[in-house]
Amino acid sequence: MSRTIGVFDSGVGGLSVLQYIREALPEARLIYVADSGHVPYGGRSAAFIEARGMALTRFLLSQGAEAIVIACNTATAAAAAPLRRQFSKIPFIGMEPAVKPAVAATQSKVVGVLATVGTLESARFAALLEKYAGDVRIVTQGCPGLVDLVERGDLRSIEARRLVERYTAPLLEAGADTFILGCTHYPFLAPLIREVVGEQIALIDTGAAVARELKRRVDTELPPCMQMGVVGDEIFHSSGDIERATRIVSQLWGADVTVQPLPQAYS
Q: Order of strands, edge to edge, in the sheet holding 92-93? A: 92-93, 67-70, 4-9, 29-34, 234-238, 259-261
In 3D space, the residue among 97, 177, 168, 186 whose CA is nearest the CA of residue 137 turns out to be 177
For the question of residue 183 being annotated catalytic, the response is yes
State how far the Cα of 140 lies from the Cα of 37, in Å rounded to an integer.
28
Helix ranges, the chain (H) = 15-24, 46-62, 73-86, 99-105, 117-120, 123-132, 146-151, 158-173, 190-197, 207-221, 242-253
Between CA 81 and CA 144, with CA 17 as vertex, the angle to 5 degrees is 75
- Determine the residue type at 122: S
In 3D space, the residue among 232, 158, 233, 243 whose CA is nearest the CA of residue 195 turns out to be 158
For the question of residue 225 being annotated catalytic, the response is no
- Identified catalytic residue from 183, 203, 248, 252: 183
Strands 92-93 and 67-70: parallel
State how far the Cα of 163 lies from the Cα of 192, in Å rounded to an integer.
11
- Identified catalytic residue from 72, 80, 203, 211: 72
The DSSP symbol for 223 reads: P
Task: Please list the active-site residues.
Answer: 72, 183
